[in-house]
Amino acid sequence: MQLGSKSIGLVLSGGGIRGMAHIGVIKAMQEFGLEAKVVSGSSIGALVGALYAADKPVVDMLKFFKETPLFKYNYFAVAKPGLINSESYIASFKKYFPEDSFEALNRELHVVATNLQKGEEIFIDKGELIKPLLASAALPPVFSPVEYMGELYADGGIMNNFPLEPVLSRVEYVIGSNVSVVSKLEKKHLNNSFQLTGRVTGLMIYAINRQKINNCNLVLESKELEHIGILDRRGIEKAYAIGYEAAVKKFEAVFSE
């Protein structure tokens, strides 16, 4: 199948470190000459989407996540809910987004975050960039909520982990990269409360977003990602490689017909 001149949209799910697979997908897209006109992301997908929308090279995308520490002593929150103060990352983000503006990006980007006070999701695509990115990726209870436009926001994945909505009406072909995957687990992987909670949360997210994922023209998912911890920085390169290899295989099957 050939896309010809069809406009492409890219949807990037949340999923912590597993989201490095999104970068692998983008690398494969570049090798196959596929370029997204519109990008939508939630949580880690929002961060990767912003780097892609800013036309950062893949090597710099990976560098961003390797250099931005998830746990750093002087980032711990004081008098705020959450273990880590999300807004302490602003300086790190400004190195990659010096203009701090959606309008400065080279592609249309939509970021979803959760308004904790109103209990609703919000899509952001204009104005300042860094705070919405931090809000979209502020996973409770690890990261503190981010104050934006006078209200508190947290992880977009709480209410919308696969933000297809802004892309669907704007493009002719949608590629979805979902890293919040569900595979069969052995009993030994459900031995404690932490594992059980993670599994239940993963199943809920998977079920809620399944129909939207299926509405994409092409979906990229890798079951192997479930064995990478969502906050395990040691999994960066592995998740990237899994995403890249799966995307190349899928693109060869679909676009070489």
CA distances for 213 relative to 55, 208, 220, angstroms: 25, 10, 9
5 a catalytic residue? no
The DSSP result for 166-209, as a single string, is HHHTT-SEEEEE---------GGGG-SHHHHHHHHHHHHHHHHH
100 a catalytic residue? no
Residue of 43, 86, 177, 180 marked active site: 43
The span from the CA of 43 to the CA of 19, in Å, is: 9
Helix 58-67 × helix 20-31 angle, to 10°: 170
The span from the CA of 16 to the CA of 38, in Å, is: 22
- The burial class, CB within 10 Å (0-12 / 13-18 / 19+), for 169 is exposed
- What tokens were used for 37? 């006109």
Residue of 155, 177, 180, 222 marked active site: 155
The span from the CA of 26 to the CA of 28, in Å, is: 5
Residue 85 and residue 78 in contact, taking contact as beta carbons nearer than 8 Å:
yes
The span from the CA of 161 to the CA of 148, in Å, is: 20
Q: Which of 23, 31, 16 is nearest to 51 (CA)?
A: 23
- Residues annotated as catalytic are 43, 155
